[in-house]
């Protein structure tokens, strides 16, 4: 379970304004909103990469905002994260990219690391890709490698930031289906930021919408689709009713 209460953050100008919501354990939560509405900043606050100016963030009973650097390192063992640009290392082959968090964060035998990497690649429908160069991969393959790395530690919480950015609609839907299958198999708690609203809403349990740093909606996916809040309707259905 993740609970935010009255979280605010500013960089000169306010970015998050009094944001409060809860993500139940085992939920796939979609976070939507226009660009520069604070979505990525919110993810970074949850994982402790940024400290909010005010408010509290509770992750499985731990108050994130009160942790020191060592305690934050321990907390992050509970997280997997896929960044917007995948953050893959071009100088490493695919297998080493996926193994990176295992080698950095855990003291595991190399045989177990290799087994986990192979299992992830099999799961991503990319068996035998360990020695492939990252630079030679397609956009969809790079996304799958990013997902493999985000989930290889078997973390109970996973944060995805624009997991289908830049992909065609068919590949995008495949990525969302894959992420949903991964979440169900692991019973993980997932927060997913995406601008691909149509496909995002096919996999989410709950949805929150940020607008100019404020959370203007929080509810089930069906409630989001039926919302009468003008900005929510405009964003979900692409209605041309003036600027958000």
Decide if 146 is inside a domain: no
Q: What CATH number has the domain bearing residue 26?
A: 3.40.50.300
State the Cα–Cα distance between residues 151 and 67, nearest whole angstrom. Answer: 24
pLDDT in tens, 104-155: 888 899 999 999 999 999 988 899 999 999 999 998 899 889 989 999 999 9
Count of domains observed in the chain: 1
Structural domain boundaries enclosing 9: 2-92+154-237
Decide if 197 is inside a domain: yes
Residue 242, pLDDT above cutoff 70:
no
Average pLDDT over residues 157-167: 88
Contact between residue 218 and residue 29 where contact means Cβ atoms under 8 Å apart: no
Residue 87, pLDDT above cutoff 80:
no
pLDDT in tens, 217-227: 999 999 999 99
Decide if 179 is inside a domain: yes
CA-based torsion, 1, 204, 86, 103: positive or negative: positive
pLDDT value for 240: 63
pLDDT value for 167: 82
Decide if 138 is inside a domain: no
Report the interhelical angle of 94-105 vs 110-123 (nearest 10°).
130
Contacts of 238 (CB under 8 A, 6+ apart): 197
Tell me the average pLDDT of the chain: 92
Of the candidates 230, 188, 224, the one whose C-alpha atom is nearest the C-alpha of residue 206 is 224
Residue 66, pLDDT above cutoff 70:
yes
Hey, what are 75's tokens? Answer: 């907390």
Contact between residue 31 and residue 22 where contact means Cβ atoms under 8 Å apart: no
State the Cα–Cα distance between residues 35 and 43, nearest whole angstrom. Answer: 14
Residue 207, pLDDT above cutoff 90:
yes
- The model's confidence at residue 238, banded by pLDDT at 50, 70 and 90, is confident
pLDDT value for 82: 87
Contact between residue 164 and residue 202 where contact means Cβ atoms under 8 Å apart: no
Decide if 116 is inside a domain: no
């Amino acid at each position: 379970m993740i609970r935010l209460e009255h979280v605010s953050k500013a960089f000169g100008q306010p970015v998050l304004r009094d944001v409060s919501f809860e993500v139940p354990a085992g939920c796939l939560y979609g976070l939507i909103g226009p660009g520069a509405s604070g979505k990525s900043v919110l993810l970074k606050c949850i994982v402790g990469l940024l400290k909010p100016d005010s408010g509290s963030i509770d992750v499985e009973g731990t108050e994130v905002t009160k942790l020191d650097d060592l305690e934050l390192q321990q907390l992050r063992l509970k997280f997997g994260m896929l960044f917007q640009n995948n953050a893959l290392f071009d100088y490493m082959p695919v297998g080493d990219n996926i193994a990176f968090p295992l080698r950095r964060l855990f003291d595991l035998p190399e045989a177990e690391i290799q087994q986990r990497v192979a299992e992830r690649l099999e799961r991503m429908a990319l068996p035998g890709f360990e020695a492939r160069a990252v630079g030679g991969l397609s956009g969809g393959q790079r996304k799958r490698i990013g997902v493999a790395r985000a989930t290889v530690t078997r973390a109970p919480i996973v944060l995805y930031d624009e997991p289908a950015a830049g992909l065609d609609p068919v590949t995008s839907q495949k990525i969302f289906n894959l992420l949903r299958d991964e979440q169900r198999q692991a019973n993980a708690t997932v927060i997913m930021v995406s601008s691909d609203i149509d496909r995002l809403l096919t996999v989410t349990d709950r949805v929150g919408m940020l607008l100019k740093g404020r959370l203007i909606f929080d509810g089930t996916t069906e409630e989001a689709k039926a919302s009468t809040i003008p900005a929510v309707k405009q964003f979900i259905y692409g209605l041309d009713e003036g600027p958000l």
